[in-house]
Amino acid sequence: MTSCKSVSTPVDTNAKLSSSSGSPYEDPTHYRSLAGALQYLTFTRPDISYAVQQICLHMHDPKTEHMNALKRIVRYLQGTLDLGLHLYPSSINGLISYTDADWGGC
């Protein structure tokens, strides 16, 4: 997918992924491998965390629509290669973090 057309968001804002509809994806191992790789990428690309979490919910029985959602994340990444966190060595021993998460709505 190196020459794919990029998209502006990592998820389709109109559709929800369903665990029961659609046909099974022909290679679940491939799906799981790509989803696992994207999980590691969320360390430096927190903007895809929600989208990756949604596709990981379906690793036990991936459908074709789940693979399409996974490909959408890859297409988003293709268009945003210059974004991300850069990690450098530091002598700071403390870290303070703030978050605003809606775990009830997930």
Dump pLDDT digits (tens) for 25-40: 999 999 999 999 999 9
Q: Distance between CA atoms of 61 and 44, rounded to whole angstroms?
A: 27
Say what the pTM is.
Answer: 0.80
Q: According to the model, what pLDDT value does residue 60 have?
A: 94
Of residues 29 and 101, the one with the higher pLDDT is: 29
Kindly list the domain boundaries of the chain, sorted by start residue: 28-79
Dump pLDDT digits (tens) for 3-21: 888 999 999 888 788 888 8
